[in-house]
Amino acid sequence: MRTSEAFVLGTMAGAAVAWFWGRGIADYLGEQTRGVRVGAADGLRAADEKAGQVLDRSGHTLRRAEEFLQDTKEHVSEALRAGQEAIRPAPRTREA
Alpha helices in the chain (DSSP H): 3-32, 34-87
Kindly list the averaged pLDDT for each block of 10 residues, start to end, along the chain of length 96. Answer: 85 88 86 89 92 88 91 93 86 72
Residue 58 lies in a domain: yes
pLDDT for 49 equals 92
Residues 67 and 74: their CA atoms lie apart, in Å, by 11
- Tell me how far CA of residue 46 lies from CA of 15, 25, 40, 50, 89, in angstroms: 41, 31, 10, 6, 66
pLDDT for 18 equals 85
- The residue type at 62: L
Residue 92 lies in a domain: no
Q: Count the domains in the chain.
A: 2
pLDDT for 45 equals 93
Q: Return the ∠ at Cα 62 (arms to 58 and 67), rounded to 5°.
A: 150
pLDDT for 70 equals 93
Residue 96 lies in a domain: no
pLDDT for 96 equals 55
